Amino acid sequence: MALLEILHYPNPLLKERSLPVETFDAELRQLAEDMAETMYDAPGVGLAAPQVGALKRMVVIDCSAHEEPADLIVAVNPEVIAREGDCMEEEGCLSVPGYFAKVARSARVRVRYQDLEGQTQERDADGLLAVAIQHEIDHLDGTLFVDRLSSLKRSMFRKKYLKMLQQQELEEA
């Protein structure tokens, strides 16, 4: 297992649409293991393959609390097949460190995906898991949570975030 580099906004790979996974092999399983290790180390509750530079439709998610046993979901080629209700929760992202904003999402979802053996699975989710699933699937489509903000909030984010990056560069120099 290995820790992978998490790409940060505004890396152009984060805007790319990921390709469907067609081969379920040892390489895919290794990527899933490395992604999970990277997510836990960050720490985060989800990580999509494009965030580590792999344009594959795969995500790892674990919304278990720290005192609970791990509940890792590895979802290959995931798609939301049903939505219900609305929620507005504060989100953050490992690719946009230090920035949080409320994002409108569906309160409950049904997701269909393949496991690492290529077997089709379906799962119902609500709460944090529903939000995480939608957030990570967005990454597979080249969408960041900040892209879902109003144009005014998105403009404010860009200015604030780019200023923060410039400040970090000055401090590192």
Catalytic amino acids? 136
Bridge-based pairing of strands 46-48 and 58-61 is: antiparallel
CB-CB neighbours of 46 under 10 Å: 26
Classify burial at 47, counting beta carbons within 10 Å of its beta carbon; exposed 0-12, middle 13-18, buried 19 or more. buried
How many residues can be counted in the chain? 173
* Contact (CB, 8 A) for 8 and 42: no
CA distance 164 to 139: 23
The CA-to-CA distance between both ends of the chain, in Å, stands at: 32
